[in-house]
């Protein structure tokens, strides 16, 4: 199943901001005959995204010509731009099974079952584990795992075949201090994809493992991110959403299904090249495996020693600071 921006019905979860919005913009501007449906919880954010992408001023979209669900039979089929791309939005909490069920029944009813799904909804609250609240822990599971799990489940049940593009994170290869609310769920997305590839061989299933990129979510996570987490992820300098989106599209067109967005991400994936990595189309596949095997035996143990030293001294420094402020 080759990747293209032509004649597609693309469902973009988390399409109201950040990378999801960037993908919507890409299809709208560079696609041909595409129907683009962006979904997120907040209608306000979705409207703002529509306005940013189409350059329609906000008051003009108040008549809801872009809204997918209501009023039911007045869905606009007007070609919105000269390339025949149509943009719709649908507010829904995809962390709820009912929310996803409702979305898919409307898509089916409107003959808009997707040919591509970009499952971009996600986000992290980086903090030390003991400092996380119950709400934050639950949001981590809902936003990062349930959205992807439920959308994949409905796609498997209702769509004969489609290209599923799931968003994990480099932290799935390397979970580290500060990401307890997030990395385990991104690891779950990776495991889910491995199983779905075996159970749904007629679907194309791609997994993206991004490193840092600038987005509204990234700005927000940096407000709670512990210093030690910032230090440890320093090698992944944030790129722009535009660059991130273009890189992902490049790899998808090239036929890759395990995709990273920076060199450190690619390198960390090489350390994780064991079972169920589907990069066989890459001429670099064997080299990457070999590099990973050698590094796992040599540099990784040294790196882990340095890390535990760094973490211990960070805790010590913080304790000293706490003790002196008491």
Ligand X SMILES: CCCCCCCCCCCCCCCC(=O)[C@@H](N)CO
Angle, vertex CA 224, rays to CA 266 and CA 39, nearest 5: 70
∠ CA 77-36-262, rounded to 5°: 165
68 close to 106: Cβ distance less than 8 angstroms: yes
Q: What order of strands is seen across the sheet that includes strand 35-40? A: 86-91, 35-40, 9-13, 116-119, 163-167, 204-209, 258-260
| Residue 235 binding: pick among ligand X, ligand NDP, none (C-beta 5-8 Å cut-off by kind) | ligand X
Q: Does 235 bind ligand X (CB under 6 A)?
A: yes
State yes or no: is 194 an active-site residue: no
Binding string to ligand X for residues 17 to 46, with x set by CB under 6 A, is what?
A: ------------------------------
- Which residue in the list 28, 145, 150, 182 is annotated as catalytic? 182
Burial of 72 from C-beta contacts in 10 A (0-12 / 13-18 / 19+): exposed
252 with 206: CB under 8 angstroms?
yes
Q: What are the two backbone dihedrals, phi and then psi, of residue 54, each rounded to the nearest 5 degrees?
A: -95, -10
The window from 23-31, 55-63, 206-214, 287-295 that contacts ligand NDP (CB under 6 A) reads: 206-214
Candidates 25, 35, 45, 197; binder of ligand NDP (CB under 6 A) is: 45
- Using the rule CB under 6 A, which residue among 16, 85, 147, 169 binds ligand X? 169
Residue of 110, 127, 186, 277 with catalytic role = 186
Question: Which token pair is 271?
Answer: 């350390």
Using CA atoms, how far apart are residues 42 and 219, in angstroms rounded to an integer?
A: 18
Assess whether 28 carries a catalytic annotation: no
To which residue do tokens 């791309």 refer? 85
Which listed residue (13, 85, 148, 236) binds ligand X by CB under 6 A? 236
The active-site residue out of 124, 168, 180, 270 is 168
Which range, of 79-87, 110-118, 125-133, 212-220, touches ligand NDP by CB under 6 A? 212-220
Closer CB to ligand NDP, 178 or 217, in the complex:
217
Whole-angstrom Cα distance, residue 301 to residue 308? 11
Among 41, 163, 204, 225, binds ligand NDP (CB under 6 A): 41
Cβ distance to ligand X smaller for residue 11 or 208: 208
Q: What is the DSSP string of 112-130?
A: ---SEEEE-------B-GG
Q: Is 186 a catalytic residue?
A: yes
| Interaction between residue 165 and ligand NDP (CB under 6 A) | no
3-class secondary structure, 32: strand
Cβ proximity to ligand X: between 221 and 257 the closer is 221
Told to check if 306 binds ligand X by CB under 6 A, we report no
How far are the Cα atoms of 97, 102, 122 from residue 150, in angstroms, in the given order?
A: 6, 12, 13
The secondary structure of residue 9, as a DSSP letter, is E
Active-site residue numbers? 168, 182, 186
- The residues that touch ligand X, with contacts defined as CB under 6 A, are 124, 169-171, 174, 211-212, 218, 221, 232-233, 235-236, 264, 295, 299-300, 303
- The residues that touch ligand NDP, with contacts defined as CB under 6 A, are 13-14, 16-20, 39-42, 45, 93-95, 120-123, 142-143, 147, 167, 169, 210, 212-213, 215-218
């Amino acid at each position: 199943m080759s990747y293209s921006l032509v004649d597609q019905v693309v469902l973009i979860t988390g399409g109201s901001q950040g990378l999801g919005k960037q993908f919507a913009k890409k299809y709208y501007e560079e696609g041909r005959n595409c129907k683009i449906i962006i979904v997120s919880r907040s209608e306000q954010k979705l409207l703002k995204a529509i306005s940013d992408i189409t350059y329609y001023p906000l008051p003009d979209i108040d008549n809801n010509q872009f809204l997918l669900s209501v009023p039911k039979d007045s869905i606009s089929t007007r070609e919105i731009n000269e390339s025949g791309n149509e943009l719709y939005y649908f507010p829904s909490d995809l962390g709820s099974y009912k929310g996803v069920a409702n979305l898919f029944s409307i898509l089916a009813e409107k003959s808009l079952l997707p040919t591509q799904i970009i499952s971009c909804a996600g986000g992290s609250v980086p903090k030390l584990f003991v400092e996380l609240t119950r709400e934050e822990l639950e949001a981590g599971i809902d936003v990062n795992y349930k959205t992807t799990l439920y959308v994949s489940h409905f796609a498997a049940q209702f769509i004969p075949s489609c290209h599923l593009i799931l968003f994990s994170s480099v932290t799935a290869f390397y979970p580290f201090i500060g990401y307890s609310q997030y990395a385990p769920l991104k690891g779950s997305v990776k495991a889910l994809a491995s199983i779905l590839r075996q159970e749904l061989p007629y679907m194309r299933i791609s997994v993206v493992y991004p490193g840092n990129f600038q987005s509204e979510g990234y700005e927000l996570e940096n407000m709670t991110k512990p210093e030690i987490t910032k230090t440890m992820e320093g090698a992944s300098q944030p790129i722009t959403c535009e660059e991130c989106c273009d890189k992902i599209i490049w790899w998808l067109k090239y036929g890759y299904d395990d995709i990273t967005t920076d060199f450190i991400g690619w390198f960390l994936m090489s350390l994780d090249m064991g079972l169920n990595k589907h990069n066989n189309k890459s001429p670099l596949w064997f080299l990457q495996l070999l590099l990973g095997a050698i590094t796992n035996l040599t540099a990784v143990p040294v790196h882990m020693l340095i890390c535990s030293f760094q973490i211990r001294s960070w805790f010590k420094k913080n304790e000293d600071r706490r003790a002196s402020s008491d």
